[in-house]
Amino acid sequence: MHLYLIIFIIYFFSSDFLSASDAIKLDSSLLPSSDISDPNKITIIPTIDTNLPLIPEEDIFDAQMSEAKSILAEAIISDLTGDTLEAAYQFELLFEALANVEVLSQYDEFQTLEFNRILTAAIDYYEDEAVTIDKVETGLSVAVLRDKLNEYVYSQKLEELEYVEERVEIIPGHIPITYNQKVASIIKFFQKEGRNSFQKWLNRISTYKPIILPILEEEGVPTELFYLAMIESGLNPKAYSYAHASGIWQFIASTGKMYGLKKDWWIDERRDFEKSTRAAAHYLKDLYKEFGDWYLAFAAYNCGSTRVKKEMKRSGSDDYWSLTRLPPQTRNYVPNIMAAIFISNDPQKYGFYKSAADKMEWRVVNIDKTVSLEILSECAKLDIGTLQAFNPELKQGTLPPLKEGKTYPFRLPLQATNVFDSLLENIEIEIVNEIVFIPISKSYTITSSVEICIIDLVERVLKDSIPRS
């Protein structure tokens, strides 16, 4: 069965792959690796010819979609051959690639259909067909877990739920803390089906709480909003949802733009844990002003103000618990947050454990060069993954192109070598003023090209032992 699936995948994608040598690709590798054996002089030769013409957006779209298809095929192959970690990695790459497609300002009807087709195929496989992928957490895992929770909660009738005495704790200036049957049921879900995921979320608290709480306090909003972020993303800056929301606070692109979060090919500030937290605080303050109730503000954050107002008008009530025709996810939203508060404040009581992850401490270095993370890692004597964790908004492994006189505020971990500044100072590179799309010649050999991907995919199908169902 699985072998037939693989053959179908190859057939389905082959027309795109085999024509890929004539396609174009965005050159996101502005800076090649540099030999820094001499710490006093680092020279980087730019690879961009700024005289090349820009490629039409529709051609870029085709190239990016071909790449996304190749990654999807590779993810499925990895999963079916039992390579769990590689499958998880490929799915992360896939959702990153699809997020990059969104950078294009407009697509026509066909392009929108094509985009949704690939996204739907990825989600359907991830949810229903995956053999090993459920054993690890990817950027989409929170969204999948939320669907499982909805199924769990709504498979239970209210009368079947364990009776608990409802109580509400009200502290001036804070979010009311409610414990009822719905909250108790969700706590039970996290103790069972959602245990592994919630433990990962708990592990991230010591990393992100010291960053997020001071910002919430500065913005004058209740610190309990931290647990909204926990439910939205599992405190994962690279979390991604079906609705194309991204980051710890799960902003969609339009709302993020409204609250000052930049998103382009190079950066996505929805992933910036500082900027997105400040934007979320402003957004939630606006929602609270609109509704005068934090629970209703949370519901609007989840499904939109219009939907909440419509349900309030229909029901004749402004009580969140009485709005029974809100979407299932929204009806579970406040109970989710309450459950996260109870478990997080007493993990051992609910069968979890506290984890003391390292705090993220940094200093900001204002860099005036468009330089890759690879080079910065060599200057800092730290691995690229560490630098990426401190700067999750960087999407292409490099600082964005900078206009003359401009700098980029880069978070440099405090554990970086003390000679970082002197090494960085000696890097010589031209200032890049604009993005240039470079056509790929047939004579080029590019390891990430879809042509090579299909050749490799075919070879793996022939050589690998595919598990049979």
pLDDT digits (tens, 9 = 90+) for 192-210: 888 888 898 999 999 999 9
Residue 45 lies in a domain: no
Q: From 19, 24, 7, 30, select the one nearest 374 (Cα to Cα).
A: 30
Q: Which long-range contacts (CB under 8 A, 24 or more apart) does 103-106 make?
A: 103/263, 103/264, 103/265, 104/57, 104/60, 104/61, 105/57, 106/57
Matching residue, tokens 């804070």: 174
Domain identity same for 291 and 397: no
Rounded to a whole number of angstroms, the CA Rg of the chain reads 24
Which CATH number belongs to the domain containing residue 255 in this structure?
A: 1.10.530.10
In one letter, which amino acid is 179? Y
Domain identity same for 371 and 334: no
Picking from 288, 317, 350, the residue at the C-terminal end of a domain is 350
Contact 74, 90 (CB under 8 A): yes
Domain identity same for 118 and 146: no
Domain identity same for 346 and 369: no
Rounded Cα gap, residues 293 and 301, in angstroms: 12
Rounded Cα gap, residues 263 and 253, in angstroms: 7
Is the predicted pLDDT of residue 28 greater than 80, yes or no?
A: no
pTM for the whole thing?
0.70
DSSP symbol at 382: S
Domain identity same for 129 and 152: no
Picking from 301, 322, 350, the residue at the C-terminal end of a domain is 350
Residue 39 lies in a domain: no
Residue 113 lies in a domain: yes
pLDDT digits (tens, 9 = 90+) for 420-451: 999 998 876 644 444 333 333 322 222 333 33
Please tell me the predicted confidence (pLDDT) of residue 230.
Answer: 94
As for how many domains the chain has, the answer is: 3
Domain identity same for 179 and 328: yes
Rounded Cα gap, residues 282 and 259, in angstroms: 8
Residue 76 lies in a domain: yes
Kindly write down the DSSP assignment for every residue of 201-227, as one continuous string: HHHHHHHHHHHHHHHHHHTT--TTHHH
Q: Give the 3-state secondary structure of 176-202.
A: CEEECHHHHHHHHHHHCCCHHHHHHHH
Domain identity same for 331 and 454: no
Backbone dihedral angles phi then psi of residue 251, each to the nearest 5 degrees: -75, 135
Domain identity same for 407 and 317: no
80-94, 268-282, 305-319: lowest mean pLDDT where? 80-94
In this predicted model, which residue has the larger pLDDT, 69 or 414? 414
Residue 49 lies in a domain: no
Please tell me the predicted confidence (pLDDT) of residue 193.
Answer: 80
Domain identity same for 130 and 145: no
Confidence band for 3, pLDDT divided at 50, 70 and 90: very low
Please tell me the predicted confidence (pLDDT) of residue 192.
Answer: 85
Note down the domain range covering 447: 2-23+54-136+441-463
Residue 179 lies in a domain: yes
Which 3 state secondary structure label does DSSP give 30?
coil
Please tell me the predicted confidence (pLDDT) of residue 433.
Answer: 43
Residue 449 lies in a domain: yes
Contact 460, 77 (CB under 8 A): yes
Please tell me the predicted confidence (pLDDT) of residue 136.
Answer: 54
Domain identity same for 178 and 314: yes
Neighbour-count burial of 300, counting CB atoms closer than 10 A to its CB (0-12 exposed, 13-18 middle, 19+ buried): buried
Over range 263-289, report the average pLDDT. 95
Q: What percent of the chain is predicted at pLDDT more than 90?
A: 39
Domain identity same for 130 and 148: no
In this predicted model, which residue has the larger pLDDT, 127 or 171? 171
In one letter, which amino acid is 45? I
Which 3 state secondary structure label does DSSP give 343?
helix
CA dihedral 376, 380, 386, 389 (to 10 degrees): -60
Residue 272 lies in a domain: yes
Picking from 316, 350, 384, the residue at the C-terminal end of a domain is 350
Domain identity same for 221 and 111: no
Sign, Cα dihedral of 228, 229, 233, 235: negative
